[in-house]
Amino acid sequence: MPPLKHVVISAAGIGSRLGLNKPKCLVEVAGRTLLDYHIQRLAWAETVWLVVGFHEEEVIEQAMQLRPDLIVVRNPDYARTNTLQSIYRVSRHLNERFLVVDADTVIEEASFQAFLRAAEKHPELVGVSGYTTSDGVRALLGANQACVTGFSRDSQHPFEWTGIAVITPRMVVDQPIYVYQALEPYLPLPAFELKAFDIDTTSDLDMARHVIANQWN
């Protein structure tokens, strides 16, 4: 399996539901910003692409201090486009698989390293989590929980789509749909359980601070 070389961090969104008037990647949890956590755990990557939009100057300033060689990709239409379209601004320049990470995601380090090891065996890989949030998209898993077979907004399903995945450029389209919707034509896809979740609301942020302080350390 070809090694992963590229990572795309999506950090262009407004994060209106969180209500802090700042990019979610600059929210601090346990004394560090989410962006700080991401860039540190991605030190192995040959190329890190960071898609920015909302308050881009602040995000770029911190990102360049953390990793001066990362590639900044601007999405000036961030208010009218979505995460998939931000990823497309990078994927159109790639011809091999890459890792996508939402910048507002909290990830437990050991499970992320295990995810990367699993990606050495699978050309594509979808991260799912048993940590569920207030408005998360649930992932439907097949036999032995080995594959994602669908996605749903129905909260009865126990696993959530994390926004973390190894995908190929052909799976990314320049359309106003969600990332998981772009993946649906390619299902089933291999699944891997991570300890991770998005921070979309203040209750998600409270959960992040709690689990990092009491469960992941």
Which CATH number does the domain housing residue 134 bear?
3.90.550.10
How many independent structural domains does the chain possess? 1
What domain range is 19 assigned to? Answer: 6-214
Give the chain as a 3 state SS string: CCCCCEEEEEECCCCCCCCCCCCHHHCEECCEEHHHHHHHHCCCCCEEEEEECCCHHHHHHHHHHHCCCCEEEECCCCCCCCHHHHHHHHHCCCCCCEEEEECCEEECHHHHHHHHHHHCCCCCEEEEECCCCCCCCEEEECHHHCEEEEEECCCCCCCEEEEEEEECHHHCCCCCCCHHHHHHHHCCEEEEEECEEECCCHHHHHHHHHHHHHCCC
Q: Which residues of the chain have pLDDT under 70?
A: 1, 16-19, 217
Q: Is residue 59 part of a domain?
A: yes
Q: Is residue 1 part of a domain?
A: no
pLDDT for the residue numbered 167 = 98
For 72-95, write each residue's pLDDT tens digit: 999 999 999 999 999 999 999 999
pLDDT for the residue numbered 19 = 61
Q: Is residue 135 part of a domain?
A: yes
